[in-house]
């Protein structure tokens, strides 16, 4: 019997075919150079036919270009949909890992579409339509990962669409922007066919995405282009953001430097108003960014706009407790007595929320109207502060000329003292009794309740005694 090494390759391959495990075949191939050169091609072919090209997937993941090329050569090219799927799996792995040489070998195969994309299915959703599946192209993945050489390879590939990124319509340059991949942004900005102002399915541009999530340096790259559309607005009402511009997104996120960069751009519209009436200033106030509010006002932002609910930035500052921002808006000319759609002023809202410093500031201006009552409930600032037990605010309001209107009644016929009594705050009750001109413990409100019936809920004799001793009845 001739030695194993003297056997023809056909017989060697036949012998190898009897080995049950691929690992055993590999061990035999590694015995010496002769067996390796004879058996290795057979091993790769076996892997391609019977192991779903696991060698290719392993090589793509680990960046072993030689193994990947051997596997591709042994496959004989794309000959079935199953094999095509494996090639795309390997290409996806290589792109994500940044293994450019492997990706290049795969892209050269006939039938490989550089614009191919996967549709991912949410495992928590049992039935999912094609429209609900999210996909991303190879170019967008490479851009997001910052693989410059991979992006360059894909851009040079025949048939590539440089603006095709994902199922939302976001282009690869948007991925590079919001991932702060400056080198990739530079490459894409210089690439033929890349649309800097490409709008996704909601009308949002790469700049809009970048100012929301990207770095200052990346934002600067976009703004360095003269053809950038800084005022492009969202076209749909996705997440209630129809009409939002890049400036509004940056202000909403509280990104001071990005706002500053945008404001230094020619033709920026600082007073752009979306269909809901909101401007960048409104979102800067909501974000609580005093610095951005200053920048916007210095650039000429109107200090007193109204949205569709008649909310102004100053009203928003009162709701959120931003005293320093309120002062800026007031100094810029905002109206302190502007009301919401329900008739509430900044004073009413701040009194309700318990923002003592804001109430003190508003009162110190001498320009707020203490008599204002909400259009729906007819409650004034003192009524709400008394109900909430905000003692310092009650004290501030009672010390004003007109004493904060302690005798005012709301639409239920209830006074501030009525609310304070219901909630049992003894100190507030004392202050109100001292400043209320008429106290009738038997007077009923719209619910048929009296001061005494409210007081009885707390089983506190001191409250009852205060009310009885302080009664000033006209009968």
Q: What is the mean pLDDT of residues 152-159?
A: 97
Q: What is the pLDDT of residues 196-255, one digit of tens each?
A: 999 999 999 999 999 999 999 999 999 999 999 999 999 887 777 899 999 999 999 999
Q: Indicate the pTM of the whole model.
A: 0.85
- Residue 55: the pLDDT is 84
* Residue keyed to tokens 């997937």: 57
Decide if pLDDT at 299 tops 70: yes
Q: Mind giving me the DSSP string for 345-409?
A: -HHHHHHHHT-HHHHHHHHHHT---TT---TTT---HHHHHHHHT-HHHHHHHHTSTTTT-TT--
| 84/281: higher pLDDT | 281
Q: What is the mean pLDDT of residues 38-49?
A: 64
DSSP-derived 3-state class of residue 250: helix
Decide if pLDDT at 117 tops 60: yes
Percentage of the residues of the chain whose pLDDT score is greater than 90: 67
- Residue 78: the pLDDT is 73
**Cα dihedral value 300, 237, 233, 191, nearest 10:** 140
Number of residues that make up the chain: 475
Return contacts of 382-385, CB within 8 angstroms, 24+ apart. 382/351, 382/406, 382/408, 382/416, 383/408, 383/410, 383/414, 383/415, 383/416, 383/419, 384/348, 384/351, 384/352, 385/351, 385/352, 385/354, 385/359, 385/416
pLDDT band at residue 10 under the 50/70/90 scheme: low
Tokens of 207: 């700049």
- Residue 81: the pLDDT is 83
In whole angstroms, give the CA distance from residue 219 to residue 223. Answer: 6
pLDDT band at residue 125 under the 50/70/90 scheme: very low
Percentage of the residues of the chain whose pLDDT score is greater than 70: 85
Q: Indicate if the alpha-carbon torsion angle 182, 185, 190, 196 is positive or negative.
A: negative
Highest mean pLDDT among 57-66, 113-122, 260-269, 424-433: 260-269
pLDDT band at residue 297 under the 50/70/90 scheme: very high
Q: What is the pLDDT of residues 61-105, one digit of tens each?
A: 999 998 889 888 888 777 788 888 889 999 999 999 999 999 999
Decide if pLDDT at 168 tops 50: yes
């Amino acid at each position: 019997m001739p030695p194993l090494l003297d056997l023809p390759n056909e017989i060697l391959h036949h012998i190898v075919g009897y080995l049950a495990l691929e690992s055993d075949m590999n061990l035999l191939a590694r015995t010496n150079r002769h067996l390796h050169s004879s058996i290795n091609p057979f091993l790769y072919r076996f892997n391609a036919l019977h192991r779903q090209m696991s060698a290719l997937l392993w090589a793509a993941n680990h960046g072993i270009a030689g193994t990947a090329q051997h596997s591709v050569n042994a496959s004989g090219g794309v000959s079935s949909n199953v094999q095509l799927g494996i090639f795309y799996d390997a290409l996806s792995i290589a792109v994500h890992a940044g293994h450019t040489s492997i990706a290049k070998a795969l892209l050269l195969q006939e039938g490989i579409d550089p614009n191919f994309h996967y549709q991912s299915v949410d495992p928590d959703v049992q039935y999912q339509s094609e429209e609900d599946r999210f996909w991303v192209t190879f170019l967008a993945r490479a851009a997001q990962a910052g693989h410059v050489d991979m992006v360059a390879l894909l851009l040079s590939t025949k048939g590539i669409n440089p603006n095709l990124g994902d199922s939302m319509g976001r282009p690869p340059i948007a991925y590079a922007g919001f991932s702060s991949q400056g080198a990739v942004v530079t490459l894409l900005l210089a690439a033929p066919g890349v649309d800097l102002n490409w709008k996704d399915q909601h009308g949002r541009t790469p700049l809009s995405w970048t100012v929301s999530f990207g770095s200052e340096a990346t934002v600067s790259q976009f703004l360095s282009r003269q053809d950038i559309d800084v005022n492009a607005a969202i076209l749909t009402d996705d997440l209630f953001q129809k009409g939002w511009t890049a400036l509004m997104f940056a202000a909403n996120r509280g990104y001071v430097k990005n706002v500053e960069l945008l404001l230094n751009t020619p033709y920026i519209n600082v007073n752009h108003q979306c269909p809901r009436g909101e401007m960048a200033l409104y979102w800067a106030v909501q974000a609580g960014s005093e610095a951005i509010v200053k920048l916007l006002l210095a650039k000429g932002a109107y200090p007193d706009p109204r949205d569709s609910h008649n909310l102004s930035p100053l009203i928003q500052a009162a709701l959120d407790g931003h005293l320093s921002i309120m002062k800026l808006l007031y100094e810029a000319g905002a109206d302190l007595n502007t009301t919401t759609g329900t008739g509430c002023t900044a004073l009413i809202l701040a009194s309700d929320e318990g923002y003592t410093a804001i109430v003190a500031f508003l009162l110190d201006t001498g320009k707020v109207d203490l008599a204002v009552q909400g259009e729906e409930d007819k409650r004034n600032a003192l009524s709400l502060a008394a109900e909430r037990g905000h003692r310092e605010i009650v004290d501030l309001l009672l010390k004003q000329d007109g004493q904060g209107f302690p005798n005012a009644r709301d639409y239920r016929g209830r006074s501030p003292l009525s609310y304070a009594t219901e909630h049992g705050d003894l100190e507030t009750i004392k202050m109100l009794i001292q400043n209320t001109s008429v106290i009738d413990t038997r007077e009923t409100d719209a619910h048929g309740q009296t001061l005494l019936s409210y007081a009885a809920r707390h089983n506190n004799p001191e409250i009852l005694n205060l009310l009885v001793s302080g009664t000033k009845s006209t009968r």
